[in-house]
Structure 1
Amino acid sequence: MFRSCVTVFLLLLIHCCFAQQPQSSKEVTNFRALVLFENKGHHVPFTDTARIWLNRLAKEKHIALDYITTTNAINENFLKKYQLLIQLDYVPYGWSEKAQHAFIKYMEQGWGGWIGLHHASLVGDFDGYKMWPWYYDFMGGIRFKNYIPEFATATVHIEEASHPVMKGLPRSFTIEKEEWYIYDASPRPKVNVLATVDESTYAPDVPVKMGDHPVIWTNRNVKAKNVYIFMGHSPQLFLDKNFVTLFENAIMWASHK
C-alpha cells in the first residue's frame, strides 16, 4: 500500500511539474517515435511514469509518439514509419518471428534509431522462450545472470564524456535504489561502453557483482544509432535530473541519422 501511494504521488508530481499548454494541431512534427513498453509486473510504476514524461517531452520537442505493449503489430512496413524505437523495459523474448526479422532489418539497415532501457537486457532463456541469438550478439554477447532484488544505491562513472548522450552530465553521478543486473560476461569487447557502475559504492554492500560492469553502451556494428541504458526500475528516476538529461539526450541523438 505504501509503495502504491508513493507511486501515485510521484506520478502526480511529475505530471504537475511537466504540465504544458496543448499544442496547435498545425505545429510541425520533427520525428515519429514508437514506444514498446512493459505493462505488467513490477516495472509498471516506472513505465507509467515514463509515459507521462515522454508525453511532456513530445509536446516540447514536437515528437509524434505511438505506444504498443506487444510486438504483434511489428513488421517491416510498420517499423519504417518511425525514426526512433524505444524499448521501454520490454523484454527481448517472446517476439514473433516476423517482429524479430523486422527489428533486425530496422537496426542493420538504419531505418531509425533505438533506445533500450533496463529490462531490455534480460537476455537468455525465459518463460519457455529460447534466447534470441541476434539480439544476444547485438547486446554484446551477454546473458542475464543475477540482480540485486533488495536494491542498492551506487555511483555511475562516465567513460566517454564527449558522446552526445552524455552532454551536460557530470563525470560521476549517483543512482538511487536500483536493482543492478549482472551478466555472465562484460559486453565491453563487443560494444562501445559509455558508462559503468562502480560496484565498490553499492549501499548497502551486496555480493552480486561482476567486476567490469558497463551500464550504458552503444553497438557500432549495426547501422542504426543505438544506446542501451540499464537504469529503469524506479519511477523516482524521473525526479533525478541526471537520468532525465541522459534519457532526453539519448532520444534526441538516436532519432537523427
Structure 2
Amino acid sequence: MSLLRRRFFWVHLLVLSSCGIKAQQSAPKFRVIAFFTGKNDKAHVSFVGEAVRWFPEVAKENNFAFDTTSNWSNMNASYLARYQVVVFLDTRPEKPEQREAFQKYMDNGGAWMGFHFAAFALTSSMYPQDWHWYHDTFLGSGQYKSNTWRPTSAILRVENRRHPATKQLPVTFQSSPNEWYCWEKDLKANKDIDVLLSIDPASFPLGTGPKVHEIWRSGYYPVVWTNKNYKMIYLNMGHNDIDYENKTNKELSFTLVNKVQNTIITEGLLWLGNTGK
C-alpha cells in the first residue's frame, strides 16, 4: 500500500470513528413525553408554561429527549411505546380507553412523573373520583381534601434520604410558593407508599387565608412520594401565585426558579428514565 493510500485509509478511519462517537453522544438516554391540558386555572397554566420552557433545557443538559402534547388521544399503546417516561403536567386522562392505555403502560414497566393538579379528584367537581386504580391504588391518596391559600413557600423535610431523587438534597429546604394539597387517605399508613418529602413543622402556620381552614397550623402533610409497585413519582408542586384579587392575573411567583427544589425533579426524572422500559 502506498504512503498516500495509507494516509487516506487512516484519515477515513478516523472520520468514521469520530462520526460513530458523535452518534453515540447524540443518542438520547431515554425519551420523555409530557401531557398537559393548559386550560384550567391560570396558576396551573402558568406552571405548564414554565415547564415546557424548563424541561428542554434540563433534557439538553442530561442527554434525554423531551416532547410535549396537549392531545390526550395520544394516550394509546402505540404512541406511549415510543417513550420511557410519561409526565402529567396538570391534568389526567379522562376517557376510558386513555385510562386503560396508561394503566397498561405502567403495569408493563413504564415510568411516570406527575405534578400538583394531576392528582386532584373531588367527586363534586369537574374532576370526580371516578378512577379507583389511579387515585386509590397508584397514587394512594384518594380524593383531594383541602388546600392552603394563598400560595406560600414552605420548609420541606426529606423523609427518605436513600432514594435516588433525594440523595443530593439537604435535610430541609425552602420551597417555591405553592398551593399545598391535603388528601383523603393517610399515605404514611400505606405500605406501598414511600413518602420522600413532607411539610416540616417549622412551616406552620402555612397559608395566609383569608379563610381559617386555608391556614394549616399543625399536622403531617406528604408532598412528594412514590409507589413501590411502580416506577413513579408524584410532586405536589405546580401552582404559581396569580394576582386574582386585583384582577390583573399577573404571575406573582414561579415554581421552577428554585434550584434546590429543582434537584428532586431532575434527579427523579433521571431515576425514572434510567430504570424505565
TM-score (norm 2): 0.76
Equivalent position of 2:162 in the other structure: 162
Q: Which runs of 5+ in 1 are unaligned?
A: 1-23
| Alignment CA distance shift 1:33-1:128 (3 Å) | closer
C-alpha distance after superposition, 1:174-207 (max 9, x if no partner)? 1242111111232222211111113551455664
Matched position secondary structure for 1:153: coil
Q: Whole-Å Cα distance in 2 between the matches of residues 32 and 176 of structure 1?
A: 27
Q: Whole-Å Cα distance in 2 between the matches of residues 85 and 175 of structure 1?
A: 24
1:117 aligned residue (112, 115, 118)? 115
Moved over 6 A (4+): none
Q: Whole-Å Cα distance in 2 between the matches of residues 197 and 186 of structure 1?
A: 14
1:35 aligns with 2:41: no
Task: Determine which structure has the larger strand proportion and give its number.
Answer: 1
Q: What are the residue-to-residue correspondences of 1:1-257 with 2, within 5 Å?
A: 27-40=26-39, 41-42=41-42, 43-89=44-90, 91-92=91-92, 95-110=94-109, 112-125=110-123, 126-127=125-126, 129-136=128-135, 137-190=137-190, 191-198=193-200, 201-202=203-204, 203-204=206-207, 207-208=213-214, 209=216, 211-222=219-230, 225-234=231-240, 236-257=254-275
Count of residues in correspondence between the two structures? 229
C-alpha distance after superposition, 1:29-78 (max 9, x if no partner)? 22111001231232111111111111111222222222111421211121
Q: Whole-Å Cα distance in 2 between the matches of residues 124 and 204 of structure 1?
A: 21
Matched position secondary structure for 1:245: helix
Q: Whole-Å Cα distance in 2 between the matches of residues 214 and 166 of structure 1?
A: 14
Percent identity between the two aligned chains: 29
Matched position secondary structure for 1:115: strand
C-alpha distance after superposition, 1:146-165 (max 9, x if no partner)? 11231222211001011100
Matched position secondary structure for 1:228: strand
TM-score (norm 1): 0.81
Corresponding letter in the other structure for 2:48:
T
Q: Which runs of 5+ in 2 are unaligned?
A: 1-21, 241-252
Q: Whole-Å Cα distance in 1 between the matches of residues 208 and 38 of structure 2?
A: 31
